[in-house]
């Protein structure tokens, strides 16, 4: 099989579970939002984890 045949028939191995193309940006946006939220939670947990050490300065 040449590379030209693959371009002409791009659905090799994707006969089951085909998602509509509209889900691609939706999934990307959801992953981006989850990453932002997770990083904010992590940073807040690291910065404000020790409440008792505020007077050390």
pLDDT digits (tens, 9 = 90+) for 1-57: 555 555 565 555 556 666 677 888 899 999 999 999 999 999 999 988 776 555 444
The residue length of the chain stands at: 57
**Going by C-beta distance under 8 Å and a sequence separation of 6 or more, which residues neighbour residue 44?**
none
For the entire predicted model, the pTM comes to 0.51
Max intra-chain CA distance, the chain: 71
DSSP string, the chain: --HHHHHH-TTTT-SSSPPPTTHHHHHHHHHHHHHHHHHHHHHHHHHTS-GGGGGG-
Q: How many CA atoms lie within 13 A of 2 on its CB side?
A: 3
């Amino acid at each position: 099989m040449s590379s030209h045949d693959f371009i002409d028939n791009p659905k090799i191995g994707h006969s089951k579970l085909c998602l509509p193309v509209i889900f691609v940006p939706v999934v990307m946006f959801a992953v981006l939002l989850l990453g932002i939220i997770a990083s904010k939670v992590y940073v807040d947990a690291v910065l404000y984890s020790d409440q008792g050490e505020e007077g050390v300065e």
